[in-house]
Amino acid sequence: MAEELIGGLSGSAGAALGAGIAMGASALAAGWSQGSVGSAAMGAVAERPELEKNVLVYLVLPEILAILGFVIAFFLIGTIGE
């Protein structure tokens, strides 16, 4: 069965490229946002130590971006075998 070419790429190559972009972009976005949030959060904890538990929640939220990027990449890689 011949695969259709879209923009010069086969369906499998397009899915693999999309998976790489999804994972890479989400990891970069998570790292950038966690750096921004982390520096502000540590400054807040230095002034008010009782905020430490709340700050942990804010530090975990950017990781959701990376997890969602991994899930999308996983689904895209799953379509390659079909």
Residue 63 in domain: yes
For residue 75, the number of C-alpha atoms closer than 13 Å in the C-beta half-sphere is 6
Q: What is the pLDDT of residues 1-49, one digit of tens each?
A: 345 666 677 778 888 888 899 999 999 999 999 999 989 999 999 999 9
Domain containing residue 38 = 15-78
Residue 46 in domain: yes
What per-residue confidence (pLDDT) applies to 3?
Answer: 57
Residue 52 in domain: yes
Residue 49 in domain: yes
Domain of residue 65, CATH code: 1.20.20.10
Q: Is 82 helix (H, G, I), strand (E, B) or coil?
A: coil
Residue 57 in domain: yes
Domain count, the chain: 1
Predicted TM-score (pTM) of the model is: 0.72
